Amino acid sequence: MIEYKGADINFSLESKIAIITGGAAGIGKATADFFVKKGVKVIIADLNPQADEIAKNLSKDCIGISGDITNEEYRQSVIQKAIATYGTIDILVNCAGIVALDNSETISDKMWDMTMEVNLKASFKMAQAVGKYMIDHKIAGCIVNMASQAGVIALDKHVAYCASKGAIIAMTKVLAMEWGKYGIRVNAVSPTVVLTELGHKAWDGPVGDEFKKQMPSERFAEPDEIAGTITFLCSSAAAMITGHNLLIDGGFTIK
Ligand SMILES: NC(=O)c1ccc[n+]([C@@H]2O[C@H](COP(=O)([O-])OP(=O)(O)OC[C@H]3O[C@@H](n4cnc5c(N)ncnc54)[C@H](O)[C@@H]3O)[C@@H](O)[C@H]2O)c1
């Protein structure tokens, strides 16, 4: 019989405190739901004005704070609320993201800047603030950044999105390298198309049907399949995984 020396075979996250940005819908909401079922106390940070109602429907141990993650004051208020309510922060999942579709030769500065602000800069600023808190308080925490298969391959009309997600993968590696000595792990996940509002917006119809034919899985992902992977990465079973970009793509990018 194998004796387990470190890893928890239950992948437990019991009593951990997590902030999930973009947690009121799609992958972030599925992750919040998965986390509360694993005993995590969750703070959802989301633009949706109903964030707290959505959180309370998941669990009494889930708080929603409505606001724009690109705003520094809002980011600080989320972090302060987590600490004031639960005493600490063990996990950050940077999930808030947007997609703006246009050709490279016509995409506007506004679309480009907004994509970078939400997807990249806000993720970095949350990681920077939470990472600093973890370092100062000697917390061996875990950060998961939402990248995408769009961060490793080219997708038509996705120039700003692809650039933002590729940068997230690069940022993840640097944070993991710099913060490994503090016991903080930083990873990225890169899903294929996930059947959320954002996924439907970009891939419904013939474009998506054609795409699926090129995937070994021949199907897109469900939000809870991404939530399960994020949960694994935050558990002690993944204690030696850091700086990694984990593709959840039904094999699409192996070609
Ligand atoms: N759905 C896909 O196909 C897919 C694939 C790969 C990666 N991703 C990434 O996964 C993440 C979640 O995507 P999703 O499909 O669940 O999207 P979604 O649109 O279903 O949910 C995104 C959530 O983020 C929130 N949000 C958006 N902008 C915000 C802001 N400025 N401040 C605070 N909250 C904000 C929204 O209100 C929403 O609740 C994104 O980073 C996305 O790029 C999605």
Per-residue pLDDT band at 2 (split at 50, 70, 90): low
Give me the pLDDT at residue 192, please. 97
Residue 202 Cα to ligand 1 middle (Å): 12
**pLDDT, tens only, 131-167:** 999 999 999 999 999 999 999 999 999 999 999 999 9
Give the nearest ligand 1 atom to 22 CA: 24
Give me the pLDDT at residue 201, please. 85
Give me the pLDDT at residue 9, please. 82
In short, whether 222's Cβ falls inside 6 Å of ligand 1 is: no
Q: What percent of the chain has pLDDT over 90?
A: 93
Per-residue pLDDT band at 1 (split at 50, 70, 90): low
Task: Exactly one of 4, 74, 161, 182 is catalytic; name it.
Answer: 161
Q: Is the pLDDT of residue 174 over 70?
A: yes
By residue count, the chain amounts to 255
Q: Is the pLDDT of residue 89 over 90?
A: yes
pTM value surpassing 0.75:
yes
Residue 97 Cα to ligand 1 middle (Å): 4
Of the listed ranges 23-32, 42-51, 200-209, the one predicted with least confidence: 200-209
Give the nearest ligand 1 atom to 220 CA: 3
3-state secondary structure the chain: CCCCCCCCCCCCCCCCEEEEECCCCHHHHHHHHHHHHCCCEEEEEECCCCHHHHHHHHCCCEEEEECCCCCHHHHHHHHHHHHHHHCCCCEEEECCCCCCCECCCCCCHHHHHHHHHHHHHHHHHHHHHHHHHHHHCCCCCEEEEECCHHHCCCCCCEHHHHHHHHHHHHHHHHHHHHHHHHCCEEEEEEECCECCHHHHHHHCCHHHHHHHHCCCCCCCECHHHHHHHHHHHHCHHHCCCCCCEEEECCCHHHC
